[in-house]
Structures are given as C-alpha cells and as structure tokens.
Amino acid sequence: MRQRQIFIFPSRTGFFFALCLLVMLIAAINYQNNMSYALTFLLANLFVVAVLHTYANLSGLTVTALNADDAFAGQRSGFHFRFSSGGKQGHHALLVGWPQPKKSGRGRRLLAGLFSSPTMLAEEEIELEPDTSRDLVLHLPVGSRGWYEPGRLRIESTYPLGLLRCWTAVALDQRALVYPAPLVSPEPTSGAGDAQDGRWLAGAGDDEFSGIRDYRAGDNPRRVYWKGLARGQTLQTKDYATAVADARWLDWEQFSGLEQERRLAALCYWVIDYHRRELEFGLRIPGTELAPATGDRHRDRALRALALFGIPQEEDGQ
Amino acid sequence: MSPGKKALIDAAVDEVATVLLGKESQLRLAICCLLASGHLLIEDLPGMGKTTLSHALAQVLGLSYKRVQFTSDLLPADILGLSIYHRNDHSFHFHPGPIFTQVLLADEINRSTPRTQSALLEAMAEGQVTLEGETRALPTPFFVIATQNPLEQSGTYPLPESQLDRFLMRIELGYPDAGAERAMLRGSGEGTQKRTLKRCIDEAALAAIRAAVDEVHVSDSLLDYIQRIAARSRQGGEFAVGLSPRGVLALLRSAKTWALMDDRDHALPDDVQAVLPAVTAHRLQPGGGFSGDGLALVALLRRDVDVV
Amino acid sequence: MKQAQQLPRPALLWIIVAQALLLLPHLPRLPLWVAGVYLLAFAWRVQAFRGRMELPGRWLKVVLALAAIAGIVLSFGSLFGVEPMVAFLLTAFALKLTEMRSRKDAYVVIFLGYFVCLTEFLFSQDLLIVVYSLLLVWVLTTALVAVHRPAGRLRDLRPLRKAGVMLLQAVPLMLVLFFLFPRIGPLWSVPIKSHTAQTGMSDRLRPGDVSRLSQSTEVAFRAQFDGEIPAVSQLYWRGMVLSSLEDSTWRSLRYFEIPAQERRAPRLDTEGDPLRYSIIMAPTQQNWLFALRYAQTARPGVMELNDYRLYSPAIIENEYRYEVQSWPDTPIEKELSPWRRGVETSLPAVDNPRTRALAGRLYETTDTPREFVAAVLDYFSNESFFYTLQPPLLGDTDMMDQFVFDSRRGFCEHYAYAFAVMMRSAGIPARIVGGYLGGEINPVNRTVIVHQFDAHAWNEVWLEGEGWVRVDPTAAVSPDRILYGLERAVAAEGSFLSDSPLSPLRYRGIGWINSMRLRYDALTYRWQSWVTGFDGQAQFDLLRGVLGEISVSRSLGLLLGAGVLTMGIVSLFLFRGARARRRPVFEEELLRFQRALWRRGLAPIAGETPGQLTERAVLRWPQQAETLRALYRALERSVYAPLPTSQDGNRLRRELRKRIRGIQFSL
C-alpha cells in the first residue's frame, strides 16, 4: 500500500501549545525581551518542523493485509497485518485500529475527525524500527454469518511531539469468514447402512470396482491379494467399496423444523462435533454437496459452505 | 520475430475452439503451456471436455497422440512398455508403451497408484525412460496432459506437492457458459470428436516458436515484480508453502510465452498476471487459519504485490 | 485509563531532570521554601515511583496549592510582580510533579517548563544563561518525545537525539523570524521586577557608597568607539549630577524642584569632530545613562537634562544600547541662572564648621576662584591624606570635619564631598558628579569595558567664562587612580576585589586566563549588540541593509523563502530513507503517470498493472483514449522493452515527463 492519503492536523495538545506560545509572545513583547522572542520563535518553529517529522513517521510505512482468521458469529476474529518500514525511517507509536462507526452526518464527522480522533475498536500501539517488519493481530468482534469486512484500517500517530495528529485510513481488501454460531440440537438420524446414502454413493462415484492397490502397512492380511504375490507381483491389497459405507450425512432436510439460520447453526454444531469425534461425514445443503471425508480441511470446507450459504459468491482473482 | 507466429498460434486456437466451445482463455493457456515446453494438468469433473481438448491440441500441432486411462490396477509397465520373450528367435523384444508418443493424455491420473504415477512423472521430468537397465529417449516434443478429478474421494491417490510442481500449469475447464452450451446442443460441436482437425503448426514452426520464447526480453522492472511475488508467497501466515525456485522459473517462462503469443518482444506485468493462477495455484499451500484454496492465495499475490 | 495514555517512565525521568535544571538558576531569587517544596514533591514522586507511597489525593492537593499561594504572598508581600510570578510557577511546577500520571499532565508540565525557561530571561540574557536555557529546552523537548516512546529502557537516548535534531532544524527559521518580527512597544504595562536590587551608581551618595561598589566585578557597560579610543584617564563617564546636600547625603535634583523653564537644557554650539561611540549598558533598574561630556544622542526618547546628562524616561530593565556623540571640549553652561547659582552654592546652615573655616582661610590667601581650587587641591596633596578602599566609618554629624581633620583616609567620594563643601562655603558653585572613570580596553574587539569597580565621584566647579569645569580631587591624592585605575592605586593595600576571590578579574596577571576572559567579553559584547540589544532601530538598519528597502512584501518574501528552504532541507533529510530503493530505469515515470491519473480522481487499485489502469482511464475519459493509450505504450516500452542503444535515455525521460504533465493538464 505504497500510495495513500495522509492527513495531518494539530492535536488538542497542539492547540494548547499554540496558546502557550501566544502567552509567551505577549510576555516577550511586554517585557521587550529579545531572548524571550527567540525562545518563542524557536518553539514555534519546532511546531513547524514537527509537521514534517510527524508526517515522515507515517509515510514510507507499508501495511500488508495478511489473512483473517475464520470465526463463529459473535466471536472475535483475528485480522493479521504486516507492518514494514522501507528505508531508514522508523515508525513509532502507531495507533492501529478501526474507528467505531458513528451515526452523525458526513460533514460533521469530517469536522470532528479533524479535532479529535475517533474511538477505536481493537486498538493497538506498535513500534517499528527502520528496515524491519512486524506482524500484528487485531481482534475484532465480527457480525453475523458470511463475509465480514472490517472497513478501513486507521493508523494514527502523534509522534514525536504530540502536537500534531497524523492519520491515514488504509482500505485493505481483507475479510473474515464468519461461520454460523453453533446451535446445540438433537443429533440428526443418519449413519451406517442408510439405504439412501448408499445409493447416492453408488451414483456419485464411478467407484463400483475398488480394485487392487499397493499394500499399505496395517492392511488386514485377509485382504492381501495373495494370488498376485504368488504370480511374482508385489504385495497388494484387495480394496472394498464398503470401506466408505459408514459415513454420516448431515443434511439440510434433517433439520426441517427450523428456520434457515437456525438450521445452519445446528448443522454447524454437528460439523464441529463430528470432526471432534473424528467421524467421517458428508454435508448436503441446497446448492452444495460435500462427499464424506474427515480431517481439518474437510471441516473447514463444510463450515465454509455453511457460512456462505445463500451468499452470492464472487470469485476473486479470476 | 516474424509476423507469422502469432497468426499460426491464433489459427491453432481458432481451430481447437471449433470443437471446444466457449473455453478460449483456457485454450490459450493450454497452448501457452505446450509452447513453453511444459506439461499440463487439467483438473475438472468428468465430461467437461478434457479429452477433447488434449486430442484437439495434438491434432492442430500435428503431433502423435496416445491416451491412457489411469486406473488403480494400472502398472508402470502398462505405460512405459515391457520386453516380451519371443519364442521364434529366443530373445526379448521391447514393446514400447503408450508413453512413446508426442502428446500423452494421462486421464484421471489420481486414480492410479503412486508407483505408476511416479513412473510417469519421472519420464516427464527426464524426457527418457529407463527400463531393465536400458535407457530409451522419448520423442520430441513430448507433452503430457494429465487430468485429475478434483473431488477427494476414496480410492484416489492425490498427487503429492512435489509431483504437482512438475506440471507447468494447472487449469480448470469449468462449465460452459449458456451461449456455448446452447451452441453445443444445437449440434455445432456434435460429432467433432470424429472430425479431424487441420494441422496449423508444423514441427519446424513449433521449434521456431519454442526458440523465440527464449528471445523475449524481460526487463529489471519485471524481474523485480516477479521477485516481489515470490517474496510475498514466502511470508505471511496464509502460505504454508511458498513458490519454489522452479515455480518462479515456470512463471517467468510462461509469461514470456504469453508475451510471444501476444506478438510482443518483451514481457509485461499483464503477462505475468495472465498466467499467474494457472502457474502458481497448484504450487501454493494454504497455511493454518487461511480458509481458501490455491486460487485464493493467487488472488492475494495479485492484490498485495505492487506492479511497479 | 488506556494503556496508551499512561506516562512512560523514561519520560517521567526526563521531566524530573528538566525540573531540577529549571529550578537551579532561579534559586537565588526564590525563598528557600520553594526549593523545599520541590524536594518534597520529588521525594514523594520517587516513593510513588517505587510503589512505596500513594500520590496525594485531591483535597490534599488543594490544601497544598493554597498553602503555596499563601507562602508566596507572605514571602513577597504580593502575588504580583515577576518574582512572585516565577515563584508561583515553580511551586505549581513542583506540585504538578505529584499528580503526574497521564500524558496530558506531562504536556502541562513540559509547556509550563518552557514558560519558566522564558522567565529566566527576564532576569538575565547573559550568554551563559542563554546556553544553559538552550540545554533546558533540549531536555524539555526530549521529555516531550519520551512521552511518546514506549515504556521500557530508561537509558533510551534516542529521544535526546530526536529532540536535538528537531531543535537544530528549527533554528534557521527562528533566526529569520527573530530578525523580521516587528518590535512593537509593550501592549500593556507589566509588573516590574520589584524585588531586584538596583545596581550601580545611585542618585544618592553617602561616603562609603562608591567604595562598596568597588568590590563588584560586574560589568556596568561596554563602549565601542568609532575611531581612536581616548586616553583612559580622560574617560569620565558622567552618570548623575548631585547638586543637593541634605543630612550628609548628596542627591540630584528632583524634577519638580526645577523651575519649568530650566528643565530642558538648550543644545550647545559644538565645534570640531565629536567622539562617536555606542554603549551597551547592563540593566540598572534606574533611569540615567552614562556618557562622556558633552553628549548628545539621536536615540528617540532619551532626554538631555539641564545638568547635561542623558536620561531615559523608562527604567533600564534590559540591556540597553545607545549611540552617543561627545564633544569633550565644549564648555557647559557659560551663563549661570540665578536659580542655578543659588542651588549650586547652598549648604546646610550649620554643618562641618571646621571644614568651612579651613575653606575660608584658604580662600583668603587666593585671588581668583581658580586659584582657590588649586589651593584646595594642594591642601589634599600636601597634607597626609590617603586614598583607600577601606576608609574608617564616619559619624553622622559633621562628617567632613571628621574626615578632613581626623581620619584623613578616604575614597573618591570623601574627597569629592569635602571639595564641594569647601567650594560652596566660599560661594563658588560646585557639585559632585557620579559615574565611572576609565575602563578596560579589550584588545580583542577594541571595546572599553567599564566595571562596577570603576565607579568614581568627582566634582564640577563653575568658573566665570568657562562654565562648569571638571575637578577631580582624587587625582590630587592618588594620581595612580586616574592614570592606571583602581587596581594599581590600592595595590599596596591588597584590598582590590578582596571580596571576590574567584573572579577572573583578579587573575589578570595570568596570561591565558586573562585572554580567555577578554575573549569571552568580546563575545558577550557581540551577543549584546546583535541579539539581546536588538531593537526596533537595529532591526530597521539591518533590514534596510539586507532587503534594500523595508516593505511587507519583501519581508514576507524573505520569511517564505527561508521557510521553504529550511523545510526543503528538512524534508530531504527526513524522506531520504523513502527513496533508498533504487528503481529500475523509467519506473519513476510510470509512477508519475499513476499519480497524475490519481490527481485527476482515478485512484489506483491494489495489484493493478499500468495497462489495466490505462484502460480504466480510457473508460473514464473516452475522448482522450488515443492520447492515453499512446502515452501508455511509450511508457510500457521504456520500462519493459529493451531500450534501443541509439536512444538517449535522458531525453526520453524528459519527453515522457512532459507528456505526463500534458495529460494531467488535459484531463
């Protein structure tokens, strides 16, 4: 994010300082005291120089949005950023966060923004030495199911003197996936031997002959393809299609009594539960079907499908 | 370069497009991959036209073509070939397998066992086959177009990452759009499998094109961009595995070929971005906490890395 | 309270250091208890810092503040005036230390610190004080930077560096402002420094006053002559003229005692080239100025009084600079008015009978007033009178009788007093003149440094046809004093500066100390004439010299020019890091193109290629499609295509930049 607009305006402290300077100037005039003049002008110019230093503290900073952690609705999601400083300039006392949304009109908000910094959500202060980078995680409460976009990230600093406030709002294309909040519900009826599931399996995969595969350690000796071995082939195992038959299905229709969001929440609960119990399961909701499998990635895929149910998908990068 | 090359390539694309409707961008990528002397992996559901595409490609390039359907009982010898004892002359005769061709379609490569897969991939990488102590060179050019079923199902053996890296590009064909589908249903694509496509690029032209790729100019600025992309893929929590040096080289070579296909003697960031998903998506692994696949990672690379 | 708003410990430490340094130069002026309050506050803070004590509660703080105010009123008698104000500021400063928790409090303390720094200048603008104050400002600014540093290492010296760099960068523009800012008069009358002692000669003289002054090594004023410096023995710097004797004390005439028509002296006819010199006087808290006679000055506001001395209506509170022309040979007041004659011959009715009798006897032996003057001087030199810095104390009545007939040991004022009494008793107009005699010539910059120990008193006698004539009876007793100065005159006695053993003036015999002292003095002179004595007049001269003519536009131009130049240099210094990455050829131009479009409202999108950007621009400005695409193609070729060897890179660059400016203009 090399190019972005940086705003700078005196802080409250800055106005207070200006007032002090005015008093000092009046003292210098009234006492006709040259060194007082000099001191007043020195401090006034310190203010002017601080404009550049405050600006420089923010410029040259590179913010990269890294990933955003997935979260369940109502929880906090961790948004990951990388702050890096190119060049010889360090960046100090950076306040990073999202401004709390305000209800006032745009014009007033702009004016208020000049004079005071907004209340920040998930505020963090970071220091960055020259030519280094630092990763930062900001935890932000996320809203309801779907994609959560946190809006523009605000970076603000009053370093070095506190007289000026320099800020910038970085629009980073970053969003977190929000899963439905799990809802405890009775276990859906499904399981091994369900005729419907078996049929579906047969139809979906062209898997009717499982065939023979290379022997893998731990295979049942009864299934080893001894004949092949006798013919001088390598040790092989006979693979049976029934190995997948005890998969469970989580189906949209199983929770027909519930309205849409609660259905998703209930499915979400059972996805987590099955995954914890390391059971093989498949997921079927309108528009999406996931074949039975296990593992973290499978769970993530299932949760993602639940999160994005009914949300039009735009494929990024394509 | 001579103006003829772009015309040749365009003609080839147009020719293939007559049998594979509405897939021009994938088609261009596939041709780009072959021109860049790389192997192609097509990942899609059955029935999307993988076979059509590979067969058509072989025809317009005028190359010999063989197809192997990979199954779990396919053995290495079924691909590479084997020596058979002839009783007449009491000696072994080598019967070459289907791999001895210029374009090989390895259909549903993830159905066969890792042993068979690795036999093929080894041959792909080395351009030769070693059997019973004897090394036999494969014909040139030699392209492998492998297809893979994306659904993780039981009884499949997904290609390990190290093997995926050997494919220059991976593309998905996807469903045709409504217009193309309608045209297909109306019959303009019907029976095309049987039709013989016109040969558009002869062997000499192909060699010339492949040589011209090396001549495409790459400026420092573009190298910087590619390096920034590589650097970005190696940092950050989203990436469990970043781009390997081989991946970076693949990206560069593909971009150069893409530039050539656009009739330019220098490569642009636009070229890099055009081939970026196809070249890098299968080489990247999402890290923990990142809920997205390789393509989502590619999107990150594209977005986060400044072009200049 | 947010963690971010808390005061980091290093900042607290810097503030405490700054406070201690601030207090130090003010200490002699303050009642001791103010220092006590500070120490108490400091100890309290340290205990709180170590977690052993709680900071005071709100009520305790109110009580403390009220007690401090009461204490100041008790010590100074009032809250108004500079010293009570400073005392109040410093007390508030100390008390604030005990309630400092947040950044906000730190800001208050630091800004207050800057102000206390300023008050120090109201008392002295000496070079050393200024250097010290600069150090203070540095420490205060460091504290301000440290407020924004993370808490952590106490020995983090980076704030110190940052503050130093920023102050240095602020200096150039400060100088310009300093010389350009119009010097206007006070906006309203301000409390004067009521408690500061008046220094130097006063307008009342009792025996013993001048000899006491002779112990002071302070500089009274410095004079710089345009041409040759006259002989030191001729440098009688007139300050006040004492014409009235009451209760054994000589004093100058009050303004209201003078008849209206005689208050202003007529300008005298002068002949020949005058001595031209300028004087920078140390603040005296009094009104008179010093000059050689007969003096005129062009400085506006300075009055020439009827006894031919210079007088400033405003009290001299700061270094004061004025230009003088003097004609030493011009006779003063050839015609004496009857009122004046009456004043200058009056003596208290019964006083010093023995001295008067002596005068009468001497007067009878002479024919003319001039001979009488000589006779009195002869008397002083022939009788056994001693010139001494340690005269015996004289009783209150008939003081001169005691001196002339009994002690016969005295300093210049004794002789001047006795001489004036003897003249007046004979009916000859005579008065005492107070001022300084001589001075030290600094070889470094050819200034005459006049110290307080050069204070002197002498007489003026009015002679028919000659006007007022200077007579110095001390010369009759101790010619060395006139010719070589006080040090030589009292060398035998060893009493010179016996009260100031450390003064560098005592070591004038040691070469390098003396040369260093003189060099520093020359620096001070320069400092005073250029900086602390810089006023409306000097500003006018300087600006006319620099700008040719003085106008608002030229002054503003100078200010702006200096401002832009300084900021430019500072920016270069600050942003040089950002330019550290060397870009491949022509990439800079591509970026300019992006910026140009951005300025026209087309914001870049992350990860966009220049080609895509151009196409977006074409969508937005379709009528410019051709120009945009053509420029893009040129840029694209220059960045990504091989540059033909025949092409001149710099020319291409200039051309591209021109086209970019053109497109920015036309969109």
- Answer yes or no: do A89 and C574 touch at CB < 8 A: yes
Residue B185: exposure state from Cβ atoms within 10 A (0-12, 13-18, ≥19): exposed
Torsion of CA B109, B113, B114, B117, to 10 degrees: -40
CA-to-CA distance for A59 and A268, rounded, in angstroms? 44
Q: Subunits that touch chain A (at least 3 Cβ pairs < 8 angstroms)?
A: B, C
- The DSSP symbol for A89 reads -
Instruction: Report which of residues C57 and C147 the model is more confident about.
Output: C147
- Answer yes or no: do A34 and C533 touch at CB < 8 A: yes
pLDDT of residue A105: 60
pLDDT of residue C577: 53
- Answer yes or no: do B308 and C590 touch at CB < 8 A: yes
Letter string b/e over residues C295-311, b meaning 16 or more CB atoms within 10 A of that residue's CB? bbbebeebbbbbbbbbb
Contacts of A13 in chain C (CB under 8 A): 104, 107
Is residue C455 predicted with pLDDT exceeding 80? yes
Instruction: Report which of residues C453 and A100 the model is more confident about.
Output: C453
Q: How many CB pairs under 8 A join A and B?
A: 71
Q: Which residue of C has its CA nearest to B308?
A: C587
Segment of A99-113, C83-97, C196-210 carrying the highest mean pLDDT: C83-97
Beta bridge partners of C462: C468
H or E stretch including C147? helix C127-147
User: Residue C205 in contact with residue C246, Cβ under 8 Å?
Assistant: no
Strands C467-471 and C455-463: antiparallel
User: Residue A58 in contact with residue A155, Cβ under 8 Å?
Assistant: yes
* Cβ–Cβ contact C530 with A under 8 A: no
- Answer yes or no: do B266 and C642 touch at CB < 8 A: yes
pLDDT of residue A202: 35
Whether A257 and A163 share a structural domain = no
Beta bridge partners of B241: B285
Length of chain C: 667
Is residue B125 predicted with pLDDT exceeding 50? yes
pLDDT digits (tens, 9 = 90+) for C345-403: 888 877 888 888 888 888 888 888 888 899 889 888 888 888 888 888 888 788 888 88
Is residue A176 predicted with pLDDT exceeding 50? yes
- Answer yes or no: do A67 and B237 touch at CB < 8 A: yes
CA-to-CA distance for A218 and C314, rounded, in angstroms? 110
Please name which of B271, B41, B287, B291 lies closest in space to residue B166, comparing C-alpha atoms: B41
Whether A128 and A32 share a structural domain = yes
Catalytic residues of C: 412, 456, 472
- Answer yes or no: do A31 and C125 touch at CB < 8 A: no
CATH of region B1-214, choose from 3.40.50.300, 3.30.930.10, 3.40.50.2000, 3.90.45.10: 3.40.50.300
* Cβ–Cβ contact C350 with B under 8 A: no
Average pLDDT over residues C599-614: 86
pLDDT of residue A221: 60
CA-to-CA distance for C83 and C26, rounded, in angstroms? 9
**Which residues neighbour C186 within 8 Å (Cβ) at sequence distance 6 or greater?**
A29, A30, A31, A32
**Which residues neighbour C81 within 8 Å (Cβ) at sequence distance 6 or greater?**
C191, C192, C193, C194, C195
Contacts of B275 in chain C (CB under 8 A): none
Please name which of C91, C41, C40 lies closest in space to residue C65, comparing C-alpha atoms: C91
Query: Considering Cα of A87, then A92, then A97, then A100, what sign does the dihedral take?
Result: negative
pLDDT band at C430 (very low <50, low <70, confident <90, very high): very high
Instruction: Report which of residues C78 and C331 the model is more confident about.
Output: C331
State how far residue C568 is from chain A, nearest Cα, in angstroms.
Answer: 10
Average pLDDT over residues C70-91: 82
Average pLDDT over residues C484-506: 70
Is residue C1 predicted with pLDDT exceeding 50? no
Number of domains observed in the structure of chain A: 3
Contacts of A123 in chain C (CB under 8 A): 2, 4
User: Residue A151 in contact with residue A98, Cβ under 8 Å?
Assistant: yes
- Domain limits of chain C? 3-156, 204-507, 582-666
pLDDT of residue A2: 47
**Chain A interface, best mutation among C110, C121, C565, by max A CB count within 10 A:** C121
State how far residue B189 is from chain C, nearest Cα, in angstroms.
Answer: 34
pLDDT digits (tens, 9 = 90+) for C616-626: 999 999 998 99
Paired tokens of A313: 């998908």
Average pLDDT over residues B183-199: 66
* Cβ–Cβ contact A193 with B under 8 A: no
Residue among C587, C637, C642 minimizing CB distance to B308: C587
Is residue B249 predicted with pLDDT exceeding 60? yes
- Answer yes or no: do B290 and A67 touch at CB < 8 A: yes
Beta bridge partners of A81: A65, A136
CATH (residue range B216-308) = 1.10.8.80
Contacts of C636 in chain B (CB under 8 A): 268
Paired tokens of C327: 């004609």
Paired tokens of C314: 């405003």
Average pLDDT over residues C468-473: 90
State how far residue B299 is from chain C, nearest Cα, in angstroms.
Answer: 9
Whether A74 and A158 share a structural domain = yes
pLDDT digits (tens, 9 = 90+) for C133-144: 999 999 999 999
User: Residue B169 in contact with residue B251, Cβ under 8 Å?
Assistant: no
Whether A105 and A59 share a structural domain = yes
Query: Considering Cα of B181, then B185, then B189, then B192, what sign does the dihedral take?
Result: positive
Contacts of C637 in chain B (CB under 8 A): 266
pLDDT of residue C431: 92
- Domain limits of chain B? 1-214, 216-308
pLDDT of residue A314: 52
* Cβ–Cβ contact C131 with B under 8 A: no
* Cβ–Cβ contact B113 with A under 8 A: yes
Mean pLDDT of chain C: 83
Q: Which residue of B has its CA nearest to C611?
A: B270
Please name which of A216, A220, A198 lies closest in space to residue A208, comparing C-alpha atoms: A198
Q: Which residue of B has its CA nearest to A214?
A: B113
pLDDT band at A104 (very low <50, low <70, confident <90, very high): low
**Chain A interface, best mutation among B118, B153, B279, by max A CB count within 10 A:** B153
Average pLDDT over residues B30-42: 90
- Answer yes or no: do B266 and C637 touch at CB < 8 A: yes
Q: Which residue of B has its CA nearest to C589?
A: B308
Whether A14 and A135 share a structural domain = yes
pLDDT of residue A198: 40
The residue range of the domain holding A238 is 207-245
Is residue B43 predicted with pLDDT exceeding 80? yes
Q: Which residue of B has its CA nearest to A300?
A: B291
User: Residue C147 in contact with residue C10, Cβ under 8 Å?
Assistant: no
**Chain C interface, best mutation among A43, A119, A127, A316, by max C CB count within 10 A:** A43
pLDDT digits (tens, 9 = 90+) for A222-274: 566 666 666 666 666 665 544 344 567 888 888 877 888 888 888 899 888 88
High-pLDDT (> 90) share of chain C, % = 11
Whether A11 and A82 share a structural domain = yes
- Answer yes or no: do C606 and B303 touch at CB < 8 A: yes
- Answer yes or no: do C567 and A28 touch at CB < 8 A: no
Please name which of B40, B244, B211 lies closest in space to residue B142, comparing C-alpha atoms: B40
**Chain B interface, best mutation among A4, A66, A299, A300, by max B CB count within 10 A:** A66
Strands C386-387 and C409-410: parallel
Residue B162: exposure state from Cβ atoms within 10 A (0-12, 13-18, ≥19): exposed
Q: What is the CATH number of the domain that holds A167?
A: 2.60.40.2550
- Is residue A84 in some structural domain? yes
User: Residue A38 in contact with residue C178, Cβ under 8 Å?
Assistant: yes
Which residue shows structure tokens 């001693």? C386
Average pLDDT over residues B204-210: 87
CA-to-CA distance for A6 and C441, rounded, in angstroms? 60
User: Residue C447 in contact with residue C525, Cβ under 8 Å?
Assistant: yes
User: Residue C87 in contact with residue C31, Cβ under 8 Å?
Assistant: yes
Q: Which amino acid is at B198?
A: K
Contacts of B46 in chain A (CB under 8 A): 206
**Which residues neighbour A116 within 8 Å (Cβ) at sequence distance 6 or greater?**
A12
- Answer yes or no: do B221 and C594 touch at CB < 8 A: no
pLDDT of residue C100: 78
H or E stretch including A304? helix A296-307
Q: Which residue of A has its CA nearest to B149?
A: A205
* Cβ–Cβ contact C601 with B under 8 A: no
